[in-house]
Chains A and B, each alone.
Chain A
């Protein structure tokens, strides 16, 4: 330990001793002054502090909002259509709960101040009032019904089936990173089984090479999406539970080993547009792992590039199928001999995501 650290400890102990001595002295003073008088004085101080806390607390809340509002996503347009619904819902909820918050907190601290003990007043004997109880059962119930109705309306829209023209992309989590798989030209993700996984042989996702649908599947290192085109993510995990967290799209879905999940959305702004909107030259859509997955959890990052259709086409055409990487020699020959019927099986496995509570 350094001298400054010892110094900090000594100061701390001294402060502690001083506080204790003051507290002890105040006890003696109250005995000398008479307990009643000391109690009345303390009561006035504490009651007054209730009022001070209320006023300063409200001021601090305003100040905190001023400092932090721009650091949140509340002011920034959502990057997906689903996110816009969630934002609307968020503002409705903020408004309703905000009103309740201010009314009840003000009443609480105001009552505490106003009805501090005095000799002049006697407490009002008021054990119950059924009309009041009924009122404040009904009002919250109605308010909550509104919130539930809105919430579920949006919930079903967001978790409902993806549009037919949605692009399918598979995202797989493992400690501590993300892998992406595109279906390639046939639009079908090939069949896979976890026992086929063999990273050393160029098959990190356990693709079944007997399935022709796998032969054109791409395995790029970044997730590219097309602006204004719906995308359906098929989410898998290889080891522990992860979570695809997309704060700018306001979306999130767990990656569960053994149980693929899905999530679909429509990106609204390209990465370039978001750079303008945020005023941040370094802006990037980040995928954060939002489910505790081990010691590297905090570094499990992926990136999404949202771009125009032309940019996307150019990028995807530059990618090489994983099959070719895994079979540097004679890949094409094998491909031709495999039965094509197997291709359909994967749709059944991966396409039922949202309802897949097995």
Chain B
């Protein structure tokens, strides 16, 4: 190779320049912490906003689990806080449905999309490809502030008289289109739509930046196939978002038209509470197609970045290269491609043409193949490793376990024949919470624990991390595993109370156990939040540049890098990111030139 003799500028220079990284221009509090254009700061802004949303969204699930676990009980303190929404200390149906809807919206979009991609794409893309910042730092800042705008609008909808949207996070019309059909379909629904429209803008601004940065701003020697899998994952994620969010946006605009301009895109033949509506010729199914054209890629927008994070953290802590790097990229590519071709598997029982359904069965089960490849590759990465159980690594193992459990149940619901029975039951709740809720959170936690030292120059507390992991893992299975059984009983989701049903009322004790585990799980997440904020200020300080002995470029920057990341020149890259345990060496950083006697793979 021609670059074998090249001098390692990066590695040499950071040692020299470490003590005087203050040559960047002067920053005020506002430009540094509020309207920052530094990718690192924007990443932290996304993360902390995401954490705040996660607490709100998690608390909502605790509230509706109280209703499901204790349908007969009354809690006067609920009325003290929520007034008529919890009349006589009992959560009212409208409130219950609003909580569920907001829980879904917040967790799917605000936490696991913005909070996850926003954090790690911003943090890792410039660091790991060797760039000083994003392609457009200003657009990056806009992306965050549009997210804040969306957040404020959604938050405000919680305080309007008729309450927030309550038709489920998918907001299917006609329920969401007609204010008379539900309290939540009044002003709360408009706020929801406007908020999500702002969210789409934020997402697109971010996504454009991620793609252009990855394609154009890689440092010398950083070919595409030398990029860490995190970057590949974030690239596919950004492309998915760019292609599918606009479709969701159009769906929302049409819904707004139907709500306010008298159009009939989604409405036809409706008699609501005795009133005959004039709309004819529309189809509510059209909305479902538009929604799921994003909605399905959306679950991969959530899970792909965590697949990247887990691959990276796992390889570092197993002290072994990720097994099948090219297969990992290929399978992510296959997942990203197929993600666009499976949306209608959410609609098998809408009356959709059965032939069309069968095409979507085929494509849906096809997507299980690349998913399986990834799982086997992770298992092989662990095999004959030398595993360090940092909190990040523990969450990687948890991620794989959850991804297997939730992925396998996807084979049930993706097969239209079984979906007829299981559709919209607790089986589905168990499936997607495990595969894209808990899994994604596990991957995100792995990322937060692992890159916290890079973000704040301090470590998080390990013991709290261990407790956080083990309690979360156990609670996740206690909550969601038995839900499969409720699904096998045909128990429908989104029911406020099952006591009136001969077919479902015998699960009342189980629901109580699940609710209890959900509350414990929520409290343990608070422990994490505490650990996070405490460690920002009081955590053990990082004293070495490369605390995990990792290969990637972010660990060649100073412990607390300034804007621009590297004080001197950006280091050059000579190899892929996964030379762990090669030729008897524990690790070989990407900046190290390939030596003559090195073995090839």
- Name A residues whose Cβ lies closer than 8 Å to a Cβ of B: 1-2, 5, 12, 16, 19-20, 22-24, 26-27, 30, 39, 42-43, 45-47, 49-50, 53, 57, 60-61, 64-65, 68-69, 71-74, 83, 85-86, 89-90, 93, 96-97, 100-101, 104-105, 107-109, 111-112, 115-118, 121-129, 132-133, 136-137, 140-141, 144, 147-148, 150-152, 154-156, 158-160, 174-175, 194-195, 197, 199-200, 206, 235, 238-241, 243, 245, 247-248, 250-254, 256-259, 261-262, 280, 282-284, 286, 288-299, 301, 353-358
Contacts and interface: CB of A to CB of B under 8 A. Distances in A.
Contacts of B182: 294-295
Contacts of B376: 132, 136
Contacts of A132: 324, 376, 380
A247 B412 CA distance: 16
B412 A123 contact: no
Nearest to B601: A127
A85 B417 contact: yes
B462 A115 contact: no
Given A147-B415, A240-B178, A301-B500, A252 B510 contact: no
Contacts of B470: 49, 53
B180 to A, nearest CB: 9
B319 A123 contact: yes
A148 B365 CA distance: 7
Interface residues of B, number: 136
Interface string B377-395: 1011011111111000010
B362 A148 contact: yes
A151 B417 contact: yes
Given A123-B318, A124-B385, A245-B490, A239 B181 contact: yes
Contacts of B305: none
A240 B489 contact: no
B353 to A, nearest CB: 4
Contact of B500 (A69, A238, A258, A299): A299
A281 to B, nearest CB: 11
Contact of A292 (B172, B409, B462, B490): B172
B358 interface: yes
Contact of A259 (B77, B285, B380, B584): B285
7 tightest Cβ-Cβ pairs between the two chains A and B = A247-B490, A258-B268, A261-B351, A159-B354, A72-B488, A46-B389, A124-B384
Interface of B: 76-77, 80, 93-94, 97, 166-168, 172-175, 178, 181-183, 267-274, 276, 280-285, 318-327, 349-354, 356-358, 361-362, 365-366, 368-369, 372-373, 375-377, 379-380, 382-389, 394, 397, 400-401, 404-405, 408-409, 411-412, 415-418, 420-421, 423-425, 461-464, 466-467, 470, 473-474, 477, 481-482, 485-486, 488-492, 494-498, 500-504, 506-507, 510, 523, 526-527, 530-531, 540, 578, 580-584, 601
Given A1-B80, A112-B382, 10 more contacts: A53-B470, A115-B384, A122-B581, A122-B584, A125-B580, A126-B321, A152-B361, A199-B274, A241-B172, A298-B496
Given A152-B361, A155-B417, A137 B369 contact: yes
A297 B503 contact: no
Contact of A355 (B353, B409, B412, B467): B353
A246 to B, nearest CB: 8
Contact of A256 (B77, B285, B365, B417): B285
Given A89-B417, A147-B415, A297 B181 contact: no
Contact of A127 (B325, B383, B504): B325
B290 to A, nearest CB: 15
A112 B421 contact: no
Contacts of A1: 76-77, 80
Contact of B269 (A5, A152, A194): A194
Given A93-B412, A154-B417, A358-B283, A257 B424 contact: no
Contact of B501 (A20, A30, A301, A357): A301
Contact of A43 (B369, B382, B389, B495): B389
10 contacts: A69-B485, A133-B327, A152-B417, A239-B181, A258-B268, A292-B494, A294-B182, A296-B93, A297-B495, A354-B354
A22 B463 contact: yes
B418 A89 contact: yes
A86 B416 contact: no
Contacts of B383: 111, 115, 124, 126
A55 B25 CA distance: 57
Nearest to A254: B350
B502 A357 contact: no
Contact of A16 (B411, B495, B527): B527
Contact of B464 (A23, A252, A261): A23
A107 B383 CA distance: 9
Contacts of A89: 415, 417-418
Contact of A116 (B323, B387, B507): B387
Contacts of B166: 295
Contacts of A73: 488-490
A136 B418 CA distance: 25
A20 B464 contact: yes
Nearest to B280: A258
Contacts of A2: 76-77
Contacts of A64: 481-482, 485
A357 B284 CA distance: 11
A173 B183 CA distance: 20
A137 B420 contact: no
A155 B358 contact: yes
Given A71-B507, A152-B361, A144 B411 contact: yes
A128 B382 contact: no
A64 B485 CA distance: 9
B424 A5 contact: no
Given A115-B387, A241-B175, A243-B424, A288 B490 contact: yes
B411 A97 contact: yes
Contact of A240 (B181, B420, B486): B181
Contact of B380 (A126, A197, A248, A299): A126
A247 B422 CA distance: 9
Contacts of B401: 105, 108-109
A247 to B, nearest CB: 3
A109 B175 CA distance: 46
In this complex, which of B354, B358, B388, B415 has the most chain A Cβ atoms within 10 angstroms of its Cβ? B415
A52 to B, nearest CB: 10
A241 B174 contact: yes
Contacts of A283: 502
Given A123-B320, A144-B411, A23 B461 contact: yes
